[in-house]
Amino acid sequence: MIFPKERNEEGAFVRPEDQFRGWVTCDGSKGYPAELGRYHLYVSLACPWAHRTVIMRKLKGLEDVIGMTVVDPVRDERGWAFRNGPGYSEDPVNGFQFLSEAYKVSEPDYNARVTVPVLWDKKTGRIVSNADDDIMRMFNSEFNAFTKSDLDFYPEALRAEIDAINDFVYPNVNDGVYRAGFATTQSTYEREVRALFNALDQIEERLRTNRYLVGNQMTEADWRLFTTLIRFDAVYYIHFKCNIRRIIDYPNLYGYLRELYQHEEIAETVNFDHIKHHYYITHTDINPTRIVPVGPELDLNSPHNRDKLSEQARR
């Protein structure tokens, strides 16, 4: 479901900017102090952008600090909805029926796209942020007083390299699948899909000697890429016509994907039913029959052997 203003004259998809960019800080210096139980996360388990924040909340052990509600994965012209179903529920915080209500409460004149994730402030009754990358970094560092985790996925010493990787992966891969899938002309589609696979080829080569995107340390860059990779063969390969190769056809990328999937409790954040039902049912302009594919069968728990790269680096 694409709004006309999200396509340019060439038929290319242009993603709108996030509209809410507040920031929670440990000291409250930007108006939103980190507090136990004050903030609530609204997400879709189908959405790769929201999935990033779910992962960071999990990795940082913030489940008891920041509440979370999952919306119905099937979205219609009314937008993301709160309903009871397998893996999603009604809104226990505000009683909203639709996520758009949170946007209207926060900004009465809001008339742009309603997106997930949303970080909600229960004290002020408004949206703090709908920017997934900002929310990831808030979770990474600003709530450390409320968690036992000392993990840092955006360390100072690696920030320049992480930012450079993110700047490459976002337009070419994360958004690249959408640019290919939502293209409305053949020339635009071919340009975007070739840019996508050129980027995947480069990442495949990078992962031949690097365990992770930034050397041998897991960072936010890996999780930003993961949420696209995990959806690729099940959705983007078919639904968005990103079908030059599958992730399973890339030895290094596929091993890397399996390692991340098997990391701690990350598999619990992946819901293929939500993912497939969202894309194949919601995008009726691409899939008018709304038939949801049964496959593919992915062996994501097989050995990845990526730890050998760290051992080689230490020698």
Catalytic residues: 47, 178
CA distance 9 to 277: 30
Closest CA to 51 of 260, 192, 282: 260
CA distance 285 to 2: 9
Cis peptide before 16 (omega within 30 of 0): no
The distance in angstroms from the start CA to the end CA of the chain is: 51
Strands 67-70 and 39-43: parallel
Strands 39-43 and 24-25: unpaired
Give the contacts of 255 (CB within 8 A, at least 6 positions apart): 207, 304, 305, 306
CA distances from 233 to 71, 84, 276 (A): 24, 28, 11
